[in-house]
Amino acid sequence: MKLFWLFVSSCCCLVFLSLGVDAVELNYQLVPRQLSSDTYVFVGKTEDFSFENGGNIVNTAFVMTSAGVVVIDTGSSLRYGEQMRQAIAKITDKPIVQVINTHHHPDHFFGNQAFKDVKIAALPTAIEDMEREGGAFSDNMYRMTGDWMRGTEPLAATEKLTADSLNVGDHKFKLLVLQGHSHADLALLDEKTGVLFAGDLVFYNRTPTTPHADIAKWLDALKQLEQLKFTYLVVGHGEVLQDKRAIVQTREYLQWLDQSLKASAESGKDMAEVLQTPIPEKFAKMPLVNFEFSRSVVHLYPALELAVLKPAS
Amino acid sequence: MWRIYRLGLMALLPMNVLAIPVDPLNSVQWTTMYNRFLKDYPVQFDSRVQVLAPEQAENSMQVPLAVKVEGLQTIEEILIFADFNPLPKVLTFYPQQALPFIGFRIKLQQASPIRAAVRTADGWHVGGKWVDAAGGGCTLPSAARNSGVWESQLGQVQGRIWQQPSAQRVRFRVIHPMDTGLASGIPKFHLEEINLQDATGKTLAQIKPAEPVSENPIFSIEFPKNLPLPTLHISGRDNNANKIKAELIP
Ligand SMILES: [Zn+2]
């Protein structure tokens, strides 16, 4: 709807809009929330990318170890990464020694440029995907957030994470190599603090997104995360909680999505009819549920409808 | 003498002006579309012609679309077009024995109204919806062109017939790259005609897809419950005279 509005409005309106944003100096107003003596999170809005939020819709985090600071995900733009770095510098004067990207989606790695003097690590498949899809992501992000992206060029992680744990100073991170939200999703459990960084495998009160999803694998990943003992669960999008509510919510939504799309395919519905599926009351208040559901139909329905057709003779 | 001449002009002019109804979708392309596709018959916007499509295209090369018509009799054809596509004409459906329903996916070059014009004895009944799109749907090469695996499967058909409470639903897919001719270096190559026939060779419905119909199109159509459909023959051709021929058994 927003984009439609932009389309029909005149160029003057667009200029006016971007001037309006410039006036507030494109500040993400990143304020870290402290989870433990050495762990902080920047909690993003539960919205879609927009000219107003500039892409600050994601959770990023940092951990201060005895050897320096570990940054987990770098946000949606060069500017986000820079402002994140400034916000970290207000908390600690320790150097940043390690950056980790949980997966290849732009809101999790487009701030990498601000950390190019630091080792940036990710799962090998995620690195390949960043390299392959970064350009297309970038076009989209410029379209959706405009000036906030200025100067941003996708910078893929360079260091491949292949071990099952990572030691930095006095912190040991258990590395869980999972998939389902994307082709390679990394979750990190900080064994010192018990904080679980789940990336986009878990959403809370923000409808999960599925452009690269494999629902069966995703549900499997959630099963594994649910077995873990943690003090805090840092989700990719949504509030940080101390219990498993976010895992349960993400699982229930994905199960409903999967079952309702399969039932639609099985009953011969056309994709345009599937878009009309009523959202159960349980999820109806989740931000962006109508929008994300209709996106998910386009992502997931083609394989399901094909599976119920038979070769003609 | 001048009076008669003037009266004649009066009678002609307002008719021509009134014949173009005001577009409820407020598209600057409406008059062009009217002149291109609709001007030979009276036109009315009609809520009985429903276009189902998303507000926003998640994938400009695969935008879901269905047209449902309720309460209109003796339908000659259903013409679907998208005002702002470089090739606006999407498809013509001649329902004949089929119910006035069709679903498939299209390529959208940019935000555009998608319209269905249903022609009956009293002229065109038009419904439509704006769909926003990031763009490029018509000028990008098809996925098959990138992967290069389509040739061995060209024209293959998969499908199924469902017995539903109110209709017999048919869905079928045809392997075809559906090249628009607008992607650089790839000539126009698309399905032009698909005929659905019964066992005796009688045509039950006809679909004439144009360039914007998506790659490997998957069509949904419906026949009435009382139409015997022991088998459904699907035949057709593309603009390079490649033939498709297949048979669906319920
Ligand atoms: Zn993601």
CB distance A312–B104 less than 8 Å?
Answer: no
The whole-angstrom separation of Cα B94 and Cα B98 is 8
Q: Does A224 touch chain B (CB under 8 A)?
A: no
Query: Domain residues for A78?
Result: 29-245
Residues of chain B contacting residue A133, judged by C-beta atoms under 8 Å apart: none
**pLDDT given at position A16:** 39
Instruction: Report the SS3 class of residue B237.
Output: strand
- Where residue A111 sits, what CATH number does that domain have? 3.60.15.10
The whole-angstrom separation of Cα B219 and Cα A307 is 15
Lowest mean pLDDT among A3-12, A59-68, A173-182, B199-208: A3-12
Does pLDDT of B8 surpass 60? no
**pLDDT given at position B18:** 52
Does pLDDT of A18 surpass 90? no
The whole-angstrom separation of Cα B211 and Cα B198 is 27
Strands A96-100 and A119-122: parallel
Instruction: Convert the pLDDT of each residue in A48-57 to its tens digit.
Output: 888 889 999 9
Instruction: Convert the pLDDT of each residue in A100-153 to its tens digit.
Output: 999 999 999 999 999 999 999 999 999 999 999 999 899 989 988 999 999 999
CB distance B54–A294 less than 8 Å?
Answer: yes
Of the pLDDT bands very low, low, confident and very high (cuts 50, 70, 90), residue B6 is: very low
**pLDDT given at position B144:** 67
**pLDDT given at position A21:** 47
With vertex at residue B16, the alpha carbon angle to CA B14 and CA B22, rounded to the nearest 5 degrees, is 90
Q: Could you tell me the two tokens for B203?
A: 């045509």
Query: Does A156 fall in a domain?
Result: yes
**pLDDT given at position B147:** 65
The whole-angstrom separation of Cα B162 and Cα B150 is 28
Q: What is the mean pLDDT of residues B51-67?
A: 96
Q: What is the mean pLDDT of residues B46-59?
A: 96
The whole-angstrom separation of Cα B103 and Cα B53 is 10
Does pLDDT of A22 surpass 70? no
Nearest to B59 among A143, A267, A298 (CB): A298
What's the CA-to-centroid distance between A182 and ligand 1, angstroms?
A: 7
Query: Which residue from B124, B130, B109 is spatially nearest to B24, judged by alpha carbons?
Result: B130
Q: What is the mean pLDDT of chain A?
A: 92
Of the pLDDT bands very low, low, confident and very high (cuts 50, 70, 90), residue B19 is: low
CB distance A4–B134 less than 8 Å?
Answer: no
Q: Does B249 touch chain A (CB under 8 A)?
A: yes
Q: How many contiguous H segments (helices) and E segments (strands) does chain A have?
A: 10, 13
**pLDDT given at position B225:** 96
| A271, A292, A304, best to mutate vs chain B, most B CBs in 10 Å | A271
Q: Could you tell me the two tokens for B187?
A: 């000539």
Of the pLDDT bands very low, low, confident and very high (cuts 50, 70, 90), residue A84 is: very high
CB distance A276–B52 less than 8 Å?
Answer: yes
Q: What is the mean pLDDT of residues B149-171?
A: 91
Q: What is the mean pLDDT of residues B218-230?
A: 95
Q: What is the mean pLDDT of chain B?
A: 90
Residue A252 CB coordination number (10 Å): 13
Nearest to B162 among A268, A305, A311 (CB): A268
Residues of chain B contacting residue A313, judged by C-beta atoms under 8 Å apart: 246-247, 249
Identity (one letter) of the amino acid at A80?
A: Y
- In the numeric block, the tokens 């910078």 are attached to A155
Instruction: Report the SS3 class of residue B10.
Output: helix
The whole-angstrom separation of Cα A25 and Cα A18 is 11
Does pLDDT of A6 surpass 60? no
| B26, B55, B170, B248, best to mutate vs chain A, most A CBs in 10 Å | B55
What's the CA-to-centroid distance between A106 and ligand 1, angstroms?
A: 8
The whole-angstrom separation of Cα A277 and Cα A258 is 13
**pLDDT given at position B140:** 74
CB distance A310–B159 less than 8 Å?
Answer: yes
Lowest mean pLDDT among A199-208, B40-49, B69-78, B146-155: B146-155
CB distance A309–B132 less than 8 Å?
Answer: no
Lowest mean pLDDT among A93-102, B4-13, B183-192: B4-13
Q: What is the mean pLDDT of residues B38-60?
A: 96
Q: Does A280 touch chain B (CB under 8 A)?
A: no
Query: Does A276 fall in a domain?
Result: no
Q: Does A271 touch chain B (CB under 8 A)?
A: yes
pTM, two decimals, is 0.89
Residue A283 CB coordination number (10 Å): 16
Q: How many domains does chain A have?
A: 1
Does pLDDT of B5 surpass 70? no
Q: What is the mean pLDDT of residues A257-264?
A: 98
Query: Does A126 fall in a domain?
Result: yes
Q: Does B235 touch chain A (CB under 8 A)?
A: no
- Percentage above 90 pLDDT, chain A: 86
Does pLDDT of B185 surpass 50? yes
The whole-angstrom separation of Cα B171 and Cα A5 is 35
Q: What is the DSSP letter of A4?
A: H
Query: Does A14 fall in a domain?
Result: no
Lowest mean pLDDT among B23-37, B41-55, B86-100, B141-155: B141-155
Does pLDDT of A23 surpass 50? no
With vertex at residue A221, the alpha carbon angle to CA A215 and CA A227, rounded to the nearest 5 degrees, is 140
With DSSP H G I counted as helix, E B as strand and the rest as coil, what are the percentages for chain A, rounded to 5?
Answer: 40, 20, 40
The whole-angstrom separation of Cα A137 and Cα A151 is 14
Lowest mean pLDDT among A292-306, B148-162, B167-181, B197-211: B148-162
Does pLDDT of A220 surpass 60? yes
Q: Does A164 touch chain B (CB under 8 A)?
A: no
**Domains within chain B, CATH numbers bracketed:** 15-248 (2.60.40.2470)
CA A158 to chain centre: 19
**pLDDT given at position B149:** 64
Query: Which residue from B177, B187, B110, B174 is spatially nearest to B143, judged by alpha carbons?
Result: B177
**pLDDT given at position B3:** 41
Does pLDDT of A202 surpass 50? yes
**pLDDT given at position A7:** 31
Residues of chain B contacting residue A305, judged by C-beta atoms under 8 Å apart: 171, 218
What's the CA-to-centroid distance between A200 and ligand 1, angstroms?
A: 5
**pLDDT given at position B134:** 81
Query: Does A194 fall in a domain?
Result: yes
Query: Does A301 fall in a domain?
Result: no
Of the pLDDT bands very low, low, confident and very high (cuts 50, 70, 90), residue B138 is: confident
Residues of chain B contacting residue A275, judged by C-beta atoms under 8 Å apart: 52-54, 64
Strand-pair partners of B117: B79, B126
Q: Does A3 touch chain B (CB under 8 A)?
A: yes
Residues of chain B contacting residue A302, judged by C-beta atoms under 8 Å apart: 62
Query: Does A268 fall in a domain?
Result: no
**pLDDT given at position A20:** 46
**pLDDT given at position B44:** 96
Query: Which residues 6+ apart lie within 8 Å of A111 measured at CB?
Result: A60, A73, A74, A75, A76, A77, A78, A80, A81, A82, A84
- Per the CB < 8 A criterion, the answer to whether A204 and A246 are in contact is yes
Residues of chain A contacting residue B66, judged by C-beta atoms under 8 Å apart: 270, 272-273
Does pLDDT of A9 surpass 50? no
Q: Could you tell me the two tokens for A3?
A: 């984009």
Query: Does A274 fall in a domain?
Result: no
Q: What is the Cβ-side half-sphere exposure of residue A211, based on CA atoms within 13 angstroms?
A: 11
